[in-house]
């Protein structure tokens, strides 16, 4: 997330702890804790996604700016020939310039539809590198960073203004939320979901509550729950034994998930008759749901987990089906 400033950002983490960082204290501790304190907290969590760190990136930007200015000043100090500041600055300029030259060639091979946007960004970065090096030779410190910051601002505008909107149809939940608002009756203010769904639907679905089917959500996520169950079992270093145990846990969990959904469908006090499942979960549970729930809408052709919206049959139908199953 700090590319292309990863070297500078890493050095900035150590800045307030070194003797030369005394000149920046105590003001530097605010961005330092913003960036490093939250990073340490997320690393200690049992479950943390990289995108949780996004609100901390302004703190990283402040640290990078401070460290860049310090290196710019140190790179022209005649009494510090051993300093790594000049090579690090030169590395960033050369790496960015080479990346700008290579990017259009790579885009032409990998993503030809993005060649135009890539060429624009590459040209901006190349000009920014030249302007940054020229500004530094003219005595600018913070000014030498400004062209590079401007180039990355252009990259954000290109990415979120030109490239990403075209991908919304296959990645976002906007269309699903619009379709649900059209299909669901006004009185259906609560929609259940089974197991788990992506967070994006909460953003787009207005005036309706998304509630998990009781007992269906993993404690953290499937991977960590499976790992916890494996660790709670007898220790084994045999890979074949571990695979067998993992398969047994997986099958047992599938049986439990199916029964959890069926128990919720059979409850007379259900607060909703609509439930969302991931496509793969529905494909697995479809035989058990026959005669109990009817698909209302199913997403197809997406680059994320597609969802199925089910309408659970009236309670009388469910009760009759369960009574028939018990007779069999």
Rounded percentage of the chain residues whose pLDDT exceeds 90: 47
ω before 299 within 30° of 0 (cis)?
A: no
pLDDT at 229: 67
- Supply 115's token pair: 């060649």
Q: Give kind and range of the element (H or E) at residue 310.
A: strand 307-312
Confidence of residue 282 (pLDDT cuts 50, 70, 90): very high
Task: Count Cα neighbours of 139 within 13 Å in the Cβ-side half-sphere.
Answer: 0
Within 13 Å and on the Cβ side, how many CA atoms surround 259?
6
> Which of the four pLDDT bands, split at 50, 70 and 90, describes residue 200?
confident
Q: How far apart are CA 140 and CA 148, in angstroms?
A: 13
d(CA 295, CA 274): 10
pLDDT in tens, 226-269: 777 666 666 656 666 667 666 676 677 778 889 999 999 988 88
Query: Would the pTM of this model clear 0.75, i.e. be above it?
Result: no
Chain centroid offset of residue 59 CA:
19
CA distance 197 to 115: 34
Q: Specify whether the CB–CB gap between 133 and 75 falls below 8 A.
A: no
Radius of gyration over every alpha carbon of the chain, rounded to an integer in angstroms? 28
């Amino acid at each position: 997330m700090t590319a292309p400033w990863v070297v500078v950002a890493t050095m900035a983490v150590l800045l307030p702890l070194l003797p030369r960082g005394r000149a920046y204290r105590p003001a530097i501790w605010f961005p330092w804790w913003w960036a490093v304190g939250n990073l340490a907290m997320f690393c200690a969590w049992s479950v943390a996604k990289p995108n949780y760190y996004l609100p901390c990136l302004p703190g990283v930007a402040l640290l990078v700016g401070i460290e860049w200015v310090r290196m710019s000043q140190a790179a022209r100090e005649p009494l510090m020939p051993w300093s790594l500041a000049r090579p690090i600055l030169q590395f960033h300029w050369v790496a960015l310039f080479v990346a700008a030259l290579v990017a259009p060639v790579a885009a032409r091979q990998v993503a030809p539809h993005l060649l135009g946007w890539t060429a624009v960004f590459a040209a901006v970065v190349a000009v920014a590198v030249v302007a940054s090096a020229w500004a530094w030779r003219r005595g600018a410190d913070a000014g030498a960073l400004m062209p590079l910051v401007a180039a990355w601002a252009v990259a954000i505008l290109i990415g979120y203004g030109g490239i990403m909107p075209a991908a919304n149809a296959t990645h976002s939940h906007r269309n699903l939320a619009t379709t649900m608002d059209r299909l669901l009756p006004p009185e259906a203010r609560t929609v259940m979901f089974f197991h788990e769904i992506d967070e994006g639907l909460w953003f787009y679905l207005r005036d309706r509550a998304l509630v998990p089917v009781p007992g269906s959500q993993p404690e953290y996520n499937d991977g960590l729950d499976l790992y916890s169950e494996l660790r709670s079992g007898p220790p084994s270093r045999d890979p074949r034994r571990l695979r067998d145990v993992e398969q047994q846990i997986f099958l047992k969990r599938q049986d439990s998930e199916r029964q959890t959904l069926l128990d919720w469908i059979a409850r007379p006090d259900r607060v909703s008759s609509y439930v969302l499942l991931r496509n793969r979960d529905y494909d697995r549970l479809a035989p058990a749901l026959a005669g109990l729930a009817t698909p209302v809408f199913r997403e197809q052709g997406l680059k994320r987990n597609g969802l199925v919206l089910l309408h659970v049959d009236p309670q009388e139908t469910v009760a009759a089906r369960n009574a028939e199953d018990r007779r069999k």
